[in-house]
Chains A and B, each alone.
Chain A
Amino acid sequence: MMVRTPWLVAVSLILAGHASVLPAQETSNQAEAAAQLSAESVAKSIGRAEAARYQAAELRVEWLETGSLIEQARKEAGLGHYEKAMALADKARQQGELAVEQYEREAEAWQQRVVR
Chain B
Amino acid sequence: MHRLALACLAVALSVTARADPEQDREAFRAYFLQRFPDVPVAEYVNGIYAIDDKARAQWQEIEAFPPYEFAVEQGEALFGQPFANGRGYADCFENGGIGVRQHFPRFDLERGEVVTLELALNLCRMDNGESPYPYESDDLIALSAYMAWTSRGETIDVKVPDDPRALAAYEDGKRFYYSKRGQLNFACSDCHVTSAGSWVRADHLSASLGHPSHFPVYRSKLGEMISLHSRFYGCIRDVRARPLDEQSEEYRNLEYFLTYMSNGLEVNGPGARK
Binding site for B on A (CB under 8 A): 1-5, 8-9, 11-12, 15-16, 19, 57, 60-67, 95, 99, 102, 105-106, 109-111, 113-116
Contacts and interface: CB of A to CB of B under 8 A. Distances in A.
A109 B57 CA distance: 39
Interface in B10-27: 17, 24, 27
B81 interface: no
A115 B31 contact: yes
B200 interface: yes
A62 B242 contact: yes
B184 A16 contact: yes
B193 A15 contact: no
A62 B180 CA distance: 12
Interface stretch (B83-91, B130-138, B171-179): B171-179
A113 B187 contact: yes
A33 to B, nearest CB: 27
Contacts of A114: 17, 24, 174, 178
Given A2-B199, A15-B184, A64 B240 contact: yes
A5 B204 contact: no
A21 to B, nearest CB: 13
Interface string B77-116: 0000000000000000000000000000000000000000
B129 interface: no
Interface string B2-40: 000000000000000100000010011001000010000
7 contacts: A3-B199, A11-B185, A16-B183, A19-B183, A106-B181, A113-B193, A115-B193
B27 A116 contact: yes
B197 interface: yes
Interface string B175-219: 100111111111101100111011111001000000000000000
Interface centre among B174, B179, B200 (most CB of A within 10 A): B179
A2 B244 contact: no
Contact of B27 (A1, A8, A63, A115): A115
A2 B204 contact: yes
A4 B199 contact: yes
B198 A8 contact: yes
Nearest to A116: B27
User: A-B pairs with the 10 shortest C-beta distances?
Assistant: A110-B178, A62-B242, A64-B240, A106-B179, A5-B198, A110-B179, A113-B178, A12-B184, A115-B31, A63-B183
B178 A64 contact: no
B51 interface: yes
A10 to B, nearest CB: 12
Contact of B181 (A1, A12, A102, A113): A102
Contacts of B240: 63-65
Nearest to B204: A2
Contacts of A3: 197-199
A9 B201 CA distance: 8
B250 interface: yes
Contact of A64 (B31, B190, B199, B241): B241
A13 to B, nearest CB: 9
A58 B156 CA distance: 34
A1 B183 contact: no
B182 A63 contact: yes
B274 interface: no
